[in-house]
Amino acid sequence: MDSHSIPPREARRRQQAGALLIDVRTDHERTLGMAEGALGVAREALLRDPAAHIAAQTSEVLLLCQAGVRSAQCAHALAALGYRNLSSVQGGTQAWAAAGLPMCKPDIDADFGERYSRHLRLPEVGLAGQKTLEAARVLLVGAGGLGSPAAFYLAAAGVGHLRIADDDVVDRSNLQRQILHTNARIGEPKVASAAATLSALNPRTCIEAVAERVSAANVERMLEGVDVVLDGGDNFPVRYLLNDACVQLRKPLVYGAVHRFEGQLSVFDAGRQRGLAPCYRCLFPEPPPAEAAPNCAEAGVLGVLPGVIGILQATEVLKLLLGLGESLAGRILQFDALGMRFREFIVTADPQCPVCAPDRAFLGYVDEAAVCAAGDARG
């Protein structure tokens, strides 16, 4: 018979009588649930080789998509190929579920499916990508202005393990921009405040609170086992330590900095791309003198600015973990809040870089106190 549409209950009755029910949505769409007993074959794959999935051109086949449009189109395409016993389920999976007909879901729990449903709908992420995020470990240095928005979005996105390092305590002056913290937590360690906030947002994310400042003595321990490092300290001595350690341990470093009304960010991935991608020292071989780099307490910062840069840093972390898009490696993105403008600058690897040049031997870490006297310049 010619292809036509039937209501979900009629489709269920025919399925139980032996008809083949095929869900023609993509893999990532079916992650959120599909009709019980349906065979999942994406429309493109089904039309490319229908004989691999349908026993005979006379077999009764019921086609199902999300809302009924693609399944009807697929039925017409199969009819043109000679298949004669086709039906499309009216309203698709949405109508099937609304009718109370049985559904099945992949091997994920309800919280996972609901919490990350918007990621699961993205073909570029899907179940495999979300599982990748769940297995990922990120070091976030600094629970201040940059670290706050970055940590919020990384936890919300489902990064499975966040190691947050910061030796500071919450101060009233922080609250203008450091949104992880509250007035009631003034005087508490920032990492403890961050852990409380992020665990309330997403209890699936493990928060490892490390109440220490990154130093030459502990930097490799801080980076142990992590996939990506996010520099949220906006602190010159720590930034150089992180850069050198990331080169030696082959970890990508997502850099961010803010000053008054301007911010910038980049990805330094020289450890994995030695001689091709630059490191931070390719751009700034030595730290500036303290008088040339006033910190936020001295120069001030627009409260929302670290939020903009921190969220962009979190975006770069997620892209690196998922292998999506083009990272900022080799580029500096600068943001001018007053002009509301972004500018991009190309940065190349320095063949004479003392840290990441391919033929340079590693001479060890220089402790922050010896690097510069800039002091704590937290965002």
pLDDT given at position 291: 60
Q: Tens digits of per-residue pLDDT, 312-359?
A: 999 999 999 999 999 999 999 999 999 999 999 999 999 999 999 998
% of the chain exceeding 70 in pLDDT: 93
Q: Tens digits of per-residue pLDDT, 121-154?
A: 898 999 999 999 999 999 999 999 999 999 999 9
pLDDT given at position 214: 94
pLDDT given at position 292: 58
Amino acid at 94: Q
Give Cα 66 distance to the centre of its chain: 26
Q: Quick check: 370 pLDDT over 90?
A: no
Per-residue confidence band for 377, with pLDDT thresholds at 50, 70 and 90? very low
Lowest mean pLDDT among 27-31, 159-163, 297-301: 297-301
In CATH terms, are 4-106 and 119-371 the same topology?
Answer: no
pLDDT given at position 3: 62
Q: Quick check: 296 pLDDT over 80?
A: no
> Can you give the residue ranges of every domain in the chain?
4-106, 119-371
Average pLDDT of the residues in 290-302: 70
Rounded distance between C-alpha atoms, residue 377 and residue 198, angstroms: 24
The encoded tokens of residue 118 equal 């918007």
Average pLDDT of the residues in 175-188: 97
pLDDT given at position 366: 82
pLDDT given at position 357: 93
Residue 61, helix vs strand vs coil: strand
pLDDT given at position 302: 96
CATH pick for 4-106 out of 3.40.50.150, 3.40.250.10, 3.20.20.70, 3.40.50.80: 3.40.250.10
Average pLDDT of the residues in 36-45: 94
φ/ψ (deg, to 5) at 315: -60, -45
Which of the given ranges, 1-10, 100-109, 179-188, 297-306, has the highest pLDDT on average?
179-188
pLDDT given at position 375: 43
- Sign of the C-alpha dihedral, residues 334, 252, 370, 297? positive
Q: Quick check: 40 pLDDT over 70?
A: yes
Q: Quick check: 378 pLDDT over 60?
A: no
Rounded distance between C-alpha atoms, residue 248 and residue 318, angstroms: 22
DSSP state of 329: B
Give Cα 88 distance to the centre of its chain: 37
Rounded distance between C-alpha atoms, residue 92 and residue 245, angstroms: 53
Average pLDDT of the residues in 220-232: 97
Question: For residue 40, what are the β-bridge partners?
Answer: 23
Q: What is the mean pLDDT of the chain?
A: 92
Cβ(343)–Cβ(336) below 8 Å = yes
Rounded distance between C-alpha atoms, residue 6 and residue 16, angstroms: 15
Average pLDDT of the residues in 292-309: 81
Q: Quick check: 295 pLDDT over 70?
A: no
% of the chain exceeding 90 in pLDDT: 82
Q: Quick check: 368 pLDDT over 60?
A: no
pLDDT given at position 241: 95
Lowest mean pLDDT among 153-162, 229-238, 365-374: 365-374
Q: Quick check: 254 pLDDT over 80?
A: yes
Instruction: Give the CATH fold of the 119-371 domain.
Output: Rossmann fold (3.40.50)
Q: Quick check: 16 pLDDT over 50?
A: yes
Q: Tens digits of per-residue pLDDT, 71-104?
A: 999 999 999 999 999 999 999 999 999 999 999 8
